[in-house]
């Protein structure tokens, strides 16, 4: 659920409004070099959101939610002061939806997981608990709403803090680890009723766990198939536990590894027969290359370290997750790394690509890439870089080159088009790969599939009818994963149409679709910078609405700006004596209504209720009877006139209006007030 920032008083949310526009405008369409200052190989940049746009100094964890009902991907980005929410626009461009604030105070550590269309958010911020948010509420948001403040649907107060939360969707559970209870072990919640999580068990006897993965085991160890298994990284070990009965967790196996320092995270392969473990502190403590320990899980009771992969970098490692035969690692100063997994061959791991925003440093330390998610529907990965922001990148382990499609002639008897392209597949796949074309109608007798048996280039050539308004794709299915490639690449030779969602006559350059002649809902002009706003298109009249209406990279130029008054205390009324600001859109700590007589006291504004605190609450220039303090001189209302009250009257001395420490019921603070206060100094209010 979300609320207007003005209603919640979370005015800081809109500081990024102007910066946010640059993400929505031509910048997000690729007009800037997103690779500037970046080193990359076999990964290309798609979009970048700086941390300032998220109203934070640092970012941390990331999660995603794919809304199957509407076919939209959302990103949830952990920040020091809350969770930033993004909707993926066509072309995998994130648009900032606003913030779910931290439940209590700021903290660098925030972890987010999604189970059954609900987000579960924990933090090490004191008394934070676990926030739960129904993500279906995100559907009601429109880009025209701008960034808003979101609220959790419920908060589980205990454990009060946690370092990580584990998603176990197959069993309708979430598991908190590194908590303030159970010795830092695992606290297991049933979330079959998502908004009413129930603590059903846990484990504490094996010490604290830093991170974990839970799954229903279906690997080679027949004795444990079908069980709910927790693989946990804790201390200097890999732990394997049976959590089928959360109230009676059973030990299965444990293993240490070569030269341990701090077991940070473990992730099990999709085949459940091996796992990867990272030690966060070995690089800083002992030096040397970035290490990944590979464990054989053929016998869960006796997991064995079988390989140590050493990278070419010396960066500290952080989080890693698999996608079939691919392993992606967020390794702090070395950025996002892409490796192939050749299990059970050796060497198991081989690096195949990377994207590093910190090109000047790849050594040990705790800056750079924190974590990542794979957005399979968009064919991209999104990852967070602590001091930089959010990156969206596309792996290039498979791509289409030299796409050419014969032109059609509108109004004539439809004939099939000739489609030609080169599929380039990098090493690292689990060959063979089945290649299948979707989104077209093949001519009679033609097969729409191929088989690729080794790395290299394969010519795809066929005759088919395109489907109006559809994005045709080439789908790859290897022995361990699937991937999809859009045939309508930016440099393809074809009869171009682009989705025109807002109906302004200009299409979205990031949403190419097939078309021949007139196709309803599309345009042949890929020039729209905001295809969800009918008031934005090339040469549109510029409005005072906060949008780049004419798509020229300038916002609200030449329009009459609104006058915004400083509102430091957030009471909705501005200081008429402070400098004003001009803008068409809301500004942080500013409002349109002046009249505040004391902009440092949220209880003083025109029409405010009387509080019996000795202040001119309603700003009428008089301290009325109902506003009188029953204990004059007790400005902090603690029942005594103490040195704290003296400091307050001294800091307010000379005030002529909107004063907070008057003694003579006049809205001023002068020598007379100070003398009156000295006469009651030390007396309590009884």
Residue in this structure with the two tokens 């991937």, named with its chain if needed = 483
In the structure encoding, which two tokens stand for residue 471, read together? 């994005």
Looking at residue 6, its pLDDT comes to 32
CATH class of the 398-494 domain in this structure: mainly beta
Q: How many helices (H) and strands (E) does the chain have?
A: 5, 45
| Interval 544-588: pLDDT, tens | 988 899 999 888 899 999 999 999 989 999 999 999 998 888 887
Which of 414, 402, 515, 513 is closest to 460 using CA atoms? 402
pTM exceeds 0.85: no
CA–CA dist 486, 437 (Å, integer): 10
Q: Could you tell me what percent of the chain has a pLDDT over 70?
A: 95
Looking at residue 259, its pLDDT comes to 95
- The mean-pLDDT minimum among 426-435, 558-567, 591-600, 642-651 falls in 642-651
Confidence of residue 426 (pLDDT cuts 50, 70, 90): very high
pLDDT, average across residues 64-93: 97
Three-state DSSP state, 300: coil
Looking at residue 36, its pLDDT comes to 63
Inter-residue contact 154 to 134 (CB < 8 Å): no
Q: Which CATH superfamily is domain 2-395 in?
A: YVTN repeat-like/Quinoprotein amine dehydrogenase (2.130.10.10)
| Interval 247-281: pLDDT, tens | 999 999 999 999 999 999 999 999 999 999 999 99
Same topology, domains 398-494 and 609-686? Answer is no
Three-state DSSP state, 29: helix
pLDDT, average across residues 77-87: 98
CA–CA dist 662, 189 (Å, integer): 54
Where do the domains of the chain lie? 2-395, 398-494, 609-686
Q: Which CATH superfamily is domain 609-686 in?
A: Dockerin domain (1.10.1330.10)
Annotate 500-559 with three-state secondary structure: CCCCCCCCCCCCEEECCCCCCCEECCCCCCCCCCCCCCCCCCCCCCCCCCCCCCCCCCCC
- The mean-pLDDT minimum among 32-36, 70-74, 98-102, 343-347 falls in 32-36
Three-state DSSP state, 337: strand
- Residue 445 makes CB contacts below 8 A (sequence gap 6+) with none
Confidence of residue 29 (pLDDT cuts 50, 70, 90): very low
CA–CA dist 66, 70 (Å, integer): 9
Decide if pLDDT at 33 tops 80: no
């Amino acid at each position: 659920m979300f609320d207007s920032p003005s209603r919640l008083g979370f005015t800081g949310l809109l500081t990024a409004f102007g910066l946010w526009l640059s993400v929505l405008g031509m910048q997000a369409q690729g007009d800037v070099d997103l690779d500037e200052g970046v080193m990359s190989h076999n990964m290309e940049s798609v979009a970048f959101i700086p941390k300032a746009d998220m109203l934070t100094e640092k970012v941390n964890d990331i999660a995603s939610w794919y809304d199957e009902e509407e076919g939209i991907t959302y990103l949830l980005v952990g920040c020091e002061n809350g969770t930033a929410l993004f909707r993926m626009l066509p072309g995998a461009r994130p648009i900032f939806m606003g913030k779910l604030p931290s439940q209590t105070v700021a903290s660098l550590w925030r972890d987010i997981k999604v189970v059954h269309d609900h987000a579960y958010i924990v933090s090490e911020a004191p008394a934070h608990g676990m926030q739960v948010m129904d993500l279906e509420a995100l559907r009601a948001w429109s880009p025209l709403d701008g960034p808003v403040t979101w609220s959790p649907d419920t908060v589980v107060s205990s454990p009060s803090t946690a370092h990580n939360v584990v998603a176990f969707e197959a069993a309708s559970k979430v598991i908190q680890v590194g908590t303030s209870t159970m010795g830092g072990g695992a606290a297991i919640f049933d979330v079959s009723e998502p908004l009413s999580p129930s603590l059903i068990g846990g484990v504490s006897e094996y010490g604290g766990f830093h991170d974990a993965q839970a799954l229903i085991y279906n690997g080679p160890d027949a004795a444990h198939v079908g069980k709910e298994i927790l693989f946990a990284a804790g201390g200097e070990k890999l732990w394997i536990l049976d959590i089928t009965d959360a109230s009676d967790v059973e030990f299965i196996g444990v293993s240490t590894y070569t030269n341990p320092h701090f077991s940070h995270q473990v992730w099990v392969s999709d085949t459940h027969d091996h796992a990867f473990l990272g030690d966060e502190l070995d690089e800083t403590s002992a030096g040397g290359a970035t290490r990944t320990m590979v464990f054989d899980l053929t016998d869960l009771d006796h997991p064995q370290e079988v390989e140590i992969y050493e990278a070419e970098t010396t960066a500290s490692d952080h989080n890693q997750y698999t996608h079939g035969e691919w392993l992606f690692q967020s390794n702090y100063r070395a950025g996002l790394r892409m490796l192939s997994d050749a299990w059970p061959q050796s060497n198991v791991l081989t690096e195949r690509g990377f994207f590093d925003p910190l090109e000047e440093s790849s050594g040990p330390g705790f800056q750079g890439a924190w974590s990542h998610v794979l957005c399979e529907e968009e064919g991209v990965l999104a990852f967070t870089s602590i001091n930089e922001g959010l990156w969206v990148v596309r792996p290039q382990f498979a791509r289409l080159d030299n796409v050419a499609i014969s032109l059609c002639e509108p109004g004539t008897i439809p004939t099939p088009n000739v489609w030609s392209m080169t599929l380039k597949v990098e090493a690292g796949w689990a060959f063979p790969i089945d290649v299948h074309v979707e989104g077209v109608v093949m001519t009679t007798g033609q097969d729409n599939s191929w088989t690729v048996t080794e790395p290299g280039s394969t010519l795809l050539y066929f005759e088919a009818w395109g489907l109006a308004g559809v994005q045709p794709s080439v789908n790859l299915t290897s022995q361990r994963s699937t991937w999809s490639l859009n045939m309508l690449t930016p440099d393809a030779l074809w009869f171009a149409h682009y989705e025109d969602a807002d109906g302004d006559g200009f299409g979205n350059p990031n949403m190419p679709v097939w078309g021949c002649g007139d196709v309803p809902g599309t345009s042949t002009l890929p020039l729209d910078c905001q295809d969800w706003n009918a008031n934005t298109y090339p040469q549109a009249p510029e409005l005072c609405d906060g949008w780049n209406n004419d798509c020229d990279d300038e916002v609200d130029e030449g329009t009459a700006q609104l006058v915004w008054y400083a509102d430091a205390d957030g009471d909705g009324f501005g200081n008429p004596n402070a400098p004003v600001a001009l803008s068409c859109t809301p500004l942080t700590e500013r409002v349109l209504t002046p009249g505040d007589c004391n902009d440092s006291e949220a209880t003083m504004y025109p029409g405010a209720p009387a509080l019996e605190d000795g202040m001119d609450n309603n700003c009428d220039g008089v301290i009325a009877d109902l506003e009188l303090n029953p204990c004059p001189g007790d400005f902090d209302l603690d029942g005594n006139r103490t040195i704290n009250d003296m400091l307050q009257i001294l800091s307010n001395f000379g005030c002529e209006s909107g004063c907070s420490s008057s003694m003579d019921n006049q809205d001023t603070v002068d020598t007379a007030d100070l003398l009156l206060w000295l006469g009651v100094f030390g007396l309590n209010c009884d």
